[in-house]
A and B are shown apart, each in its own frame.
Chain A
Amino acid sequence: MTRLASLRRRLGARIGAKPAAVLAIAILAIVLPFGLDAFWLTTATFVLIAAIGALGLNVLTGYTGQISLGHAFFLAVGAYTAAVLGGTARLTAAIWLPAAGVVAALCGALVGPTALRLRGLYLAIVTIGLVFIGQHIWFNVAAISGGPGGRSFPPVTFGAFDFSPGQQLTLGGLVIDHNGLYYYLALIILAAAMLFIWNLVRGRPGRAMQAVRDREIAAAIMGVNLARTKMSAFVVSSFLAGVSGALYASYLSFATPGQWSLLLSVQYVAAIIVGGIGTVWGALLGSMVIFALPSVLQSLIPQSSSGGLPIDDISSIAYGLLIIVFFVLEPRGVVGLGARVASLWSRVAMRGGKGGGLSEETQPLERREATWAR
């Protein structure tokens, strides 16, 4: 116990527990592709891409309290923007990737005002409508979506530099293949997005979002413009969804309209519930659980012993169970579980700290810090 306490104190004193953890995660994320085979690297890449979109949903639903089941629509808008600009018009990803975010954000700004009049379940239902309208468009406007049969999506290209299958990058003896390239691109975009949202929610606009979530009228009386705040949340959320959708479709290289269905929205909602509503890390943690689940099940259960149930169905059942379990047992998601472990850890360390000869004066202070740490 004493050793644990002194370890924690030493770590905490030098760099602070949080930055140390972030650094460790960053290093792990960078070296991860070298330890994974193609199957798991592909899974990890899909997780990172999905986490970008989940982060967007967490801004809208988690931080601003606006329940949306329309995320699939904005993902699709991003994907088809990429298809039209990158595929049909053959522009570089340096254009279609940001454009996917911007076009989705514009759509978010267009539907925002309607959503501003609605709250809670009503908003959820109207945003479902958005998914259905999207489905109608994607199935019928073949020029954009390729019709019911689907269409191919452009690989990421920056000038002559190409992320297509078979391509690779050699960096000082290290070979990064097609999967690795997508992995690192998604990692960079996700890290930038997390940093942006982290700053946002600790600054003026993000505080306003959380105030609107907790008490709308009180927020307005404090000077928060409700319409503008919800609108920003919609725009930021759909921007990230658009970028995520474009990357997803590009990595898949082919998608049908049926893929942008309500189930996709539900998966994103599940991801933020499981990961942690209204947290930055929750989006990534939840995406790890939800979007890696089919791969995990596939590797755990040999098809012969699954009782004839396809993996997708087993995944769907598992999503449902996870949502129920987290709602009932830990509404703060995996992040909440982490906080519990952390507070247990600090309690253990504190108890050790007493024995470790902390002076009487410093004790209450440390204790106070620990209770604030959440």
Chain B
Amino acid sequence: MTASAAPMLEVRDLTLRFGSVTAFADLSFDVARGELFAVIGPNGAGKTSLFNVLSRAYVPTAGSVRFDGADLLRLRISALAGAGVARTFQNLGLFGELTALENVLIGRHHLMRSGTLRSGLWLGYARREERRHRAAAMEALEFTGIGHHAHAPTGTLPFGIQKRVEIARALAMEPKLMLLDEPVAGMSVSEREEITALVRRLHRERDLTLLLVEHDMGMVMRIAQRVLVLDFGRVIAIGTPAEVQRDERVIRAYLGEELEGDLAEVRR
């Protein structure tokens, strides 16, 4: 089997435990190249933990992950960007004192080469490199519709704009696989519409495989090609949006969600 025929992501028997707490157990699924794949589930189901394993922030207790044909779990965390995985964070992972543009430029760190001496002495190489990547970072900000916020320190920007900076930064990383953790959480209805359209555009125009975690069912069911449903760290369903919506176990898990949601609020 050639690398390009292999799925973009192959997850096998993946388990993550924190002492006696099981974040998720025995997850197995494939994400095809170019797929827009959603992961849903009630609060605490293990979605963010899955992203943390896929972005090498957490080391899984057991199981394997192959990314683009290679063993993802052998990559160092800082080598992930170069391998082609980008992510956004549910609770924002921006560098608050840097401007939006500088944040996006950090996303291009792995594509740049200038070190301490070349940058400090501001040699021609560093200057040209900086100019080129600034243009690319600007383009990513424009793509997400926030080019005019480029020079604002991100810490001072509204939450919705910060979420877009995160998407721009992930995009600027030029990844093959992008993990989006709740991109519309905490947004107004109109902002949700805009981000939904943006994610669609990302998928169509940028040749990306997308993994989307989202509580907004309307958004997920409209744009996802396949959906994985987690409950208490276990896969309870996987399939097209239509299939998943008919699944009895899914309906049951979501009927109980209101209560779950309240519990999660208390936990926070």
Binding site for B on A (CB under 8 A): 196-197, 199-200, 203-208, 210-211, 213-215, 217-226, 232, 235-236, 278, 368, 371-372, 374
**Contact across chains for A208 and B97 when beta carbons are under 8 A apart:** no
List chain B residues, Cβ under 8 A from A219: 95, 106
- Least CB distance, A257 to chain B, in whole angstroms: 32
- Chain A to chain B contacts (Cβ below 8 Å), 30 pairs: A196-B121, A199-B120, A199-B121, A203-B119, A204-B105, A205-B114, A207-B98, A210-B102, A214-B97, A217-B57, A217-B77, A217-B93, A218-B95, A221-B77, A221-B78, A221-B80, A221-B81, A222-B81, A223-B79, A223-B81, A223-B82, A223-B109, A224-B78, A224-B106, A225-B78, A232-B116, A236-B120, A278-B97, A372-B152, A374-B153
**Contact across chains for B152 and A371 when beta carbons are under 8 A apart:** yes
Distance, CA A372 to CA B169, complexed state (A):
20
**Contact across chains for B114 and A211 when beta carbons are under 8 A apart:** no
**Contact across chains for B98 and A214 when beta carbons are under 8 A apart:** yes
Distance, CA A220 to CA B148, complexed state (A):
27
Distance, CA A218 to CA B141, complexed state (A):
19
**Contact across chains for B89 and A207 when beta carbons are under 8 A apart:** no
**Contact across chains for A197 and B120 when beta carbons are under 8 A apart:** yes
B227 interface residue (CB < 8 Å to A): no
B25 interface residue (CB < 8 Å to A): no
B173 interface residue (CB < 8 Å to A): yes
The 3 closest A-B pairs by CB, nearest first: A223-B81, A223-B110, A203-B119
Contact of B119 among A204, A210, A217, A368 (CB under 8 A): A204
Distance, CA A215 to CA B82, complexed state (A):
19
- Do most interface residues of chain A lie in helix, strand or loop, or is the interface mixed? helix
Q: Which of B58-92 contact A (CB under 8 A)?
A: 77-82, 87, 89
Q: Mark B152-176, 1 if CB is under 8 A from A, else 0.
A: 1100000000000000010001000
**Contact across chains for B89 and A200 when beta carbons are under 8 A apart:** no
Nearest opposing residue in chain B for A235, CB measure: B116
List chain A residues, Cβ under 8 A from B215: none
Contact of A200 among B87, B96, B116, B148 (CB under 8 A): B116
Distance, CA A290 to CA B1, complexed state (A):
68
- Least CB distance, A95 to chain B, in whole angstroms: 20
List chain A residues, Cβ under 8 A from B152: 371-372
- Least CB distance, A201 to chain B, in whole angstroms: 9
Distance, CA A232 to CA B114, complexed state (A):
13
B107 interface residue (CB < 8 Å to A): yes
- Least CB distance, B265 to chain A, in whole angstroms: 25
B192 interface residue (CB < 8 Å to A): no
Distance, CA A53 to CA B195, complexed state (A):
48
Distance, CA A220 to CA B77, complexed state (A):
6
B256 interface residue (CB < 8 Å to A): no
Contacts beyond the supplied A203-B119, A221-B80, A223-B109: 17 A-B pairs with Cβ under 8 Å: A196-B120, A199-B120, A199-B122, A204-B115, A211-B95, A211-B98, A211-B106, A218-B89, A218-B93, A219-B95, A220-B78, A221-B77, A222-B81, A222-B107, A223-B107, A232-B115, A232-B116
B50 interface residue (CB < 8 Å to A): no
Nearest opposing residue in chain B for A206, CB measure: B119
**Contact across chains for A223 and B80 when beta carbons are under 8 A apart:** yes
A204-B114, A204-B119, A214-B95 known; A224+B109 contact, CB < 8 A? yes
- Least CB distance, A202 to chain B, in whole angstroms: 8
List chain B residues, Cβ under 8 A from A226: 78
Distance, CA A210 to CA B105, complexed state (A):
12
List chain B residues, Cβ under 8 A from A196: 120-121
Distance, CA A211 to CA B110, complexed state (A):
13
Distance, CA A204 to CA B152, complexed state (A):
19
List chain B residues, Cβ under 8 A from A236: 116, 120
B56 interface residue (CB < 8 Å to A): yes
**Contact across chains for A208 and B116 when beta carbons are under 8 A apart:** no
Distance, CA A335 to CA B188, complexed state (A):
38
List chain B residues, Cβ under 8 A from A214: 94-98
Distance, CA A54 to CA B107, complexed state (A):
30
List chain A residues, Cβ under 8 A from B119: 199-200, 203-206
List chain A residues, Cβ under 8 A from B110: 222-223
Distance, CA A222 to CA B97, complexed state (A):
16
B213 interface residue (CB < 8 Å to A): no
Distance, CA A220 to CA B115, complexed state (A):
17
**Contact across chains for A221 and B153 when beta carbons are under 8 A apart:** no
Distance, CA A215 to CA B78, complexed state (A):
13
**Contact across chains for A204 and B82 when beta carbons are under 8 A apart:** no
Distance, CA A236 to CA B115, complexed state (A):
12
Distance, CA A218 to CA B80, complexed state (A):
12
List chain B residues, Cβ under 8 A from A205: 114-116, 119-120
B151 interface residue (CB < 8 Å to A): yes
Nearest opposing residue in chain A for B153, CB measure: A374
**Contact across chains for B151 and A203 when beta carbons are under 8 A apart:** no
List chain B residues, Cβ under 8 A from A220: 57, 77-78
Nearest opposing residue in chain B for A217, CB measure: B57
- Least CB distance, A172 to chain B, in whole angstroms: 32
Nearest opposing residue in chain B for A369, CB measure: B151
List chain A residues, Cβ under 8 A from B116: 200, 205, 232, 235-236
> Among the interface residues B78, B79, B102, B153, which one has the most CB atoms of the partner chain A within 10 A?
B78
Contact of B93 among A215, A225, A232, A278 (CB under 8 A): A215
Distance, CA A217 to CA B95, complexed state (A):
11
**Contact across chains for A208 and B121 when beta carbons are under 8 A apart:** no
**Contact across chains for A208 and B57 when beta carbons are under 8 A apart:** no
List chain A residues, Cβ under 8 A from B130: 203-204
